[in-house]
Structure 1
Amino acid sequence: MEAMREIELKGHIIDSFLLPKVFDKVMDMNGEFEILEFEIGKHKTDTSYARLMIKGRDQEHLDDIIGELHRLGAYLPEAEDAIVEEAPKDRVVPKGFYSTTNHTTYVKVDGEWRRVKDQKMDALIVIKDNEAVCTTLGHIKKGDRVVVGNKGIRVVPPERPRGHTIFDFMGSQVSSERPSQALIREIAEEIYEAKESGGKIVVVGGPAIVHTGGQQALAELIRKGYVDALLSGNALAVHDIEYNLYGTSLGMDLKTGELAPEGHKHHIYAISEITRAGSIREAVEKGILTGGIMYECIKNGVPYVLAGSIRDDGPLPDVITDTMKAQDLMREQVKDADIVLMLATMLHSIATGNCLASHVRTICVDINPATVTKLMDRGTAQAIGIVTDVGTFLPWLAEELDALEKARKQEAPTLKAKGKKHKRKTAR
């Protein structure tokens, strides 16, 4: 027996392609739709509204379609409270639980819409003390009130930027072209403006940063305050420390490109020396570690999370080998991030992407286009990708930021002088 239900869409549903995505999803799932009402915004800043009737071959089929449309940003016109059920035991969810997207989400509780806190994908919504919080499966406790179904939930996807930004360049989200100076400058401007406005910039990095010669540029960005948190693994820290202690990365002299005598031992020596000191911080304080990425993090108070892996040597004493603990610390660092810069690491980029809300501006730089594609396929659709060598990208980015700083310093006296001149004219 055919089943039908109305849905509503509101916002910039045309230029953000939300409306055609809804049409495509309904047809892909062998459903039908009918447009009941459609109001198009007359100006660029105006929102649009659409009310549709969705049809399925039976109630189960309709519910499947509605569930998918809900994740795109459609919502049911009725204003019912969300339905909750208690978790039967720790890390066990009620059947029919609502699985979150990384888009901003609201839940209706006791007749009031409440924004869900700590938004991230593939989590659950727990209602506690009249608040709605995104909670991962590993943190579900027996008796937690978990939202089930789609009633009383509204998902708000990010709107397409009103003005031109790096986040809509070329229309697609992966550029395999060599990065142009204009493109790098746009990224530098986004980072510079975020820093000036007090925003948070998080870097996610892999060991290729050191292998390709980008270490000094990243260390400079940290020293100048362009990095507020670093997320990585054992390898980046080890090779960064190895380079500072021995001038090599995985035993290769980065200046000559040749293997150093006994160089294959250097990364083990590096781990041993930090362990002997007690930690990376203690190695810096004792004068053992005198430069590099990790040194600048310690010297400039930049927090870092080094998440362990099954393939790690050592690992360093600072590496967190408890995966769940590492996840929690990563989520803590990115929950208020404005920009996340992912550099040459598929594993940590995807892991971090899973923790991000969709409004976080995300830039992924990797020589392998599959890294960017996988990141977006797994839900981090807000990311733009640049397929290039990170050893080329980072020094170029540092240069553009230096140029911006110099330009702004030159502008400041001019603006100040103009202000004084204006005051004198006003006084007259």
Structure 2
Amino acid sequence: MALNIPKYTPPDFNQEIFINAPNATLVEVVKDGVSPANYHALSVFPEYFKINNKWVLATESRMDTVCVAYDEMGKESVNIVEFRNLKVGDKVVIGRTEDGSQGIYMYTQGFVNKSHDSDTFAFRSGRSRETAFSIDYDQLYEILKHEKAKNGYVTWVLGTAISLDEDTRNAMERLIREGYVNAILCGTSLAAFDLECGTFGTTWGQKVFRREQNTYENYYETINMVREAGSIESFVKSGQVKDGIMKACVECNVPFVLASTVRDRFTLPGTYDNVYEAQNAMRKHARKTSTIIMVSTILFTIATGNMTPSYNEFDGVIRPVYMYTVDIQEFAVNKLADRGTLTATSVVTNTQDFVKNIGRALA
């Protein structure tokens, strides 16, 4: 199937509702990290702000953020920032309505196919364990081919399960080497288990997995060896890692972000142990991604999905950011939508099988 990226159709700003709307109210920040009262909090939908009688689109609208406006005549623009990143002097848009009456307009029909009777913004449909996902796989294959050919930015958010199965791990490595991965966001465990397998040929200390016999000896030894080397990159370059996801990332210059959790027992060097620093590092990739695939990790999926714009501007064109959330639990894939990210396509399946299917089709 050929990929048909939905085209964005902006509102008709010649309508009276837009012409007669006032400019957005702007109030300056007087203390770093503290927004003026009645701030306008953004959503995942496209939003416009009227500045000097000009409607400006926020190209990186995302949840739990505020709009900082720049109102120099002829250079009107907006920047979407987190509350904690507000600085004294920033001009924040004030207002709680989204119908244009306060110079703020939330637009839900930018990507709607006009041939259908639909009033939803999203390009998704409902998913459940009874859904046949064949068409989703076919579309994703075409999306990834398109992103590779057009220099898109594909971010993968990966849970530990991806590094615990040999075939899945191999498939992910091939996808990295074939150019279908531009960044990986994950926790310490995925990287550590992957490096254990690449170094010792074991997972949880076993070459053949038996739940009752698992041990962390090789896992901890691997982390210790990486810490002695000083970094994952140095450990990989030492030649001790034979294969795997981290090795492919280092050799293919694919960036990865390791975010720690409060329960991490023994972390790899390079792991972000400050939540704001981790968030900033993850957001650098989320803000420029054109397709994001979140697999087998509920907390990372929710965190990354909420900080990822559902649409963005690429080479001057407004287009949707394709989002996929994949988990064997229906609860897990729906949790992202429950938290407000409405544009993700959910796939309820064994995540190891999912990655192997992608690998067989593309790599």
Superposition TM-score, scaled by structure 2 size: 0.83
Corresponding residue for 1:200?
Answer: 153
| Matched residues, number | 328
1:215 aligns with 2:169: yes
1:397 aligns with 2:351: no
Corresponding residue for 2:200?
Answer: 246
1:153 aligns with 2:104: yes
Q: In the alignment, is the contact (CA less than 8 A) between 1:362 and 1:382 conserved in 2?
A: yes
Cα distance change of structure 1 residues 235 and 118 upon mapping to structure 2, 3 Å threshold: same
Pairs within 5 Å for 1:40-55: none
Any idea what SS the aligned residue of 1:289 has? coil
Q: In the alignment, is the contact (CA less than 8 A) between 1:212 and 1:389 conserved in 2?
A: no
1:284 aligns with 2:236: yes
Correspondence for 1:231 among 185, 196, 201: 185
1:144 aligns with 2:144: no
Q: In the alignment, is the contact (CA less than 8 A) between 1:240 and 1:292 conserved in 2?
A: yes
Corresponding residue for 1:27?
Answer: none
Structure 2 counterpart of 1:314, one-letter code: F
Q: In the alignment, is the contact (CA less than 8 A) between 2:203 and 2:209 conserved in 1?
A: no
Q: Distance in 1 between matches of 2:303 and 2:91?
A: 27
Cα distance change of structure 1 residues 47 and 134 upon mapping to structure 2, 3 Å threshold: closer
**CA RMSD across the alignment:** 2.7
Cα distance change of structure 1 residues 275 and 46 upon mapping to structure 2, 3 Å threshold: closer
Cα shift readout 1:183-233 (whole Å, capped 9, x = no counterpart): 423321221122112211110101011224421111110010000111111
Correspondence for 1:295 among 243, 247, 252: 247
- Any stretches of 5+ residues in structure 1 without a counterpart? 1-44, 50-74, 403-428
Cα distance change of structure 1 residues 109 and 183 upon mapping to structure 2, 3 Å threshold: closer
Corresponding residue for 1:374?
Answer: 335
Q: What percent identity do the matched residue pairs reach?
A: 30
Cα distance change of structure 1 residues 46 and 273 upon mapping to structure 2, 3 Å threshold: closer
Query: Shift of residue 260 of structure 1?
Result: 9.6
Correspondence for 1:110 among 42, 49, 52: 52
Structure 2 counterpart of 1:387, one-letter code: V
Cα distance change of structure 1 residues 96 and 48 upon mapping to structure 2, 3 Å threshold: closer
Structure 2 counterpart of 1:205, one-letter code: L
Q: In the alignment, is the contact (CA less than 8 A) between 2:206 and 2:214 conserved in 1?
A: no
Query: Shift of residue 48 of structure 1?
Result: 9.9
Query: Shift of residue 245 of structure 1?
Result: 1.6
Structure 2 counterpart of 1:109, one-letter code: I
Structure 1 counterpart of 2:188, one-letter code: N
- Any stretches of 5+ residues in structure 2 without a counterpart? 1-7, 117-121, 312-320
Query: Shift of residue 152 of structure 1?
Result: 1.2
Any idea what SS the aligned residue of 2:56 has? strand
1:273 aligns with 2:215: no
Cα distance change of structure 1 residues 47 and 93 upon mapping to structure 2, 3 Å threshold: closer
Corresponding residue for 2:78?
Answer: 132
Please identify which structure carries the higher helix content.
1
Cα distance change of structure 1 residues 200 and 126 upon mapping to structure 2, 3 Å threshold: same
Superposition TM-score, scaled by structure 1 size: 0.71
Cα distance change of structure 1 residues 82 and 241 upon mapping to structure 2, 3 Å threshold: same
Q: Which moved more, 1:343-352 or 1:182-191?
A: 182-191
Structure 2 counterpart of 1:153, one-letter code: I
Query: Shift of residue 119 of structure 1?
Result: 2.3
Cα distance change of structure 1 residues 351 and 340 upon mapping to structure 2, 3 Å threshold: same
Corresponding residue for 2:278?
Answer: 326
Corresponding residue for 2:289?
Answer: 337
Correspondence for 1:185 among 104, 124, 138: 138
Relative contact order: is structure 1 or structure 2 higher (C-alpha 8 Å, sep ≥ 6)?
Answer: 2
Any idea what SS the aligned residue of 1:120 has? coil
Any idea what SS the aligned residue of 2:21 has? coil
